[in-house]
Structure 1
Amino acid sequence: MRNSKLIIAATLVSLATAGYAQTEPQVAVSSAPGKVSVTGTVKTTSTVVGIEPATRTVWLKDAKGKVVQVVVGEEARNFDQLKVGDVVNAEYSEAMTLTLKKGGAQLSANENQTLERAPMGAKPGGTASREVTVMAVVTAVNHQTGAVTLKGPQGNSLDVIVQDPEQLKLVKKGDHIEVVYTEAIAISVEPKAK
């Protein structure tokens, strides 16, 4: 079941990525002492200009005229409802929040996923989301380079560069950092305008 959700989500993502290069992402950064959040959203609209049912291949054309070929997996419902001229809207969002936690917290990693597909007989589309939460420990702080080394629950290490000197002053070896990463995609298909 888990693998099928991932496959469906990957199918939705592959359909949506067709127009991303042409859309400027909207990015926001917020900061408070001991906490930083970054969010980004990309929206795109493309038109179906070709369909090959035997291979489940769709050609999408963006507003700038670029055509991209996308293979839609068997997991995506209602492929037969697609028509040349249909409009495909996609929105992809990512967010990451890092929160400084003083005191001893247990290292951990959790992941939650959701998936909602279009009902049978409707135009293809749906939403998929994933949230990953990791509690890591600070094993080193380099005030000269701004690098903070984090060790995760599986023993892997990662250096994170802290650009804000005031935030860096708050971080000490032995502190914990909670990292919450979320991503979501929504795809809808609208019939060709008459």
Structure 2
Amino acid sequence: MPAINNLGFLLLSAALLSACSSQAENEPLTRDVDTSQVTIEGVPGGVSTQVEKVSAVVSAIDYDKRSFTLEDAQGHQRSFTAPPEMINFPQLKVGDKVNATIAVEQVVFLREPGAAGEDGAAGLVAAPPAGSKPGLLVADTVEVTAVVKVIDTKQRTATLEFADGTRKTVQVRPDVQLKDEYLNRQVVIRLSSALAISVEPQ
């Protein structure tokens, strides 16, 4: 299984968009990215994490439009619109430092035969008390399942079928033995994402 697949990036994008919508013509801000993966030899699946950190300074604010522009140390600028959940937006000032941390964890495993489970999602949005510096915490967990429909031992791939009928073929790690007993077993993909935004006064 890939470390952070397209579903993970979509979830990450969704988390970012739920916190602030940006204008496409702006530059991407510089970010530090740290990734890791934990697997057990011979066991399908594993745990992958990706953490991104962004720090920038508020260079412009339009309180009427609830928009603000961030500038990083390299001079890249990007404009955002504060969501309604950011109730302390009026406290934001030019020169304030904004720190954002985005974390995505993906857990993939084969469900044991007979084990119960359902696709689902859970979320959290939290903001600091009124009157304090702006901030936001957005967290989401999504769990989807697929069924192993095809195993190709020569190409070392497995084809998964999701609940909506779509199929995706994934590469299987070299240390995992492809067994016939894996056919028609459920693969669980659990994605948790969190976005935390904090502001340091100028």
Q: Tell me which interval the TM-score lies in, with the shorter structure as reference length.
A: 0.7 to 0.9
Whether 1:29 and 2:37 are equivalent positions in the alignment is yes
Q: Which amino acid aligns with 1:12?
A: A
Greater share of strand: 1
Q: What is the deviation of 1:166?
A: 2.1
Q: Which residue of 1 aligns with 2:150?
A: 140
Take 1:82 and 1:120, find their aligned partners in 2: how far apart are those partners?
Answer: 13
The equivalent residue for 2:178 is 169
Distance 1:20 1:115 in 2: 24
Once residues 184 and 75 of structure 1 are traced to their aligned partners in structure 2, the CA distance between those partners, rounded to angstroms, is: 15
2:139 aligned counterpart, secondary structure: strand
User: TM-score, normalization: structure 2?
Assistant: 0.80
Compared with structure 1, are the counterparts of its residues 148 and 59 closer, same or farther at alpha carbon in structure 2 (3 Å cutoff)? Answer: same
Deviates more, 1:66-75 or 1:99-108: 99-108
The code of the aligned residue for 2:67 comes to T
Question: How far is 1:130 from its partner?
Answer: 0.5
Letter in 1 for 2:82: V
> Do the aligned partners of 2:142 and 2:192 also contact (CA within 8 Å) in 1?
yes
- 1:1-194 paired onto structure 2 within 5 Å: 10-14=17-21, 21-32=29-40, 33-105=43-115, 108-162=118-172, 164-170=173-179, 172-192=182-202
How far apart are residue 14 of structure 1 and its match?
4.1
Q: What runs of 5+ residues in structure 2 fail to find an aligned partner?
A: 1-13
Give the TM-score taking structure 1 as reference length.
0.83
Letter in 2 for 1:98: V
Note the C-alpha offset of 1:106.
Answer: 5.7
Q: Is the 8 A contact 1:107 1:152 kept in 2?
A: no
Identity percentage of aligned residues: 26
Structure 1 residue 80: Cα displacement: 0.7
Kindly provide the CA deviation profile for residues 52-84 of structure 1, in whole angstroms up to 9, marking residues without a partner as x: 112112011111111111122333211110100
Give the residue type in structure 1 aligned to 2:39. Answer: S
Q: Deviations over 1:126-177 (max 9, x none)?
A: 2111111123211111222232111223333222222x12225257211221
Number of residues paired by the alignment? Answer: 183
In the alignment, residue 91 of structure 2 is paired with which amino acid? Q
**Secondary structure of the corresponding residue to residue 17 of structure 2:** helix
What is the identity, as a one-letter code, of the residue corresponding to 1:31? Answer: T
Paired amino acid for 1:73: P
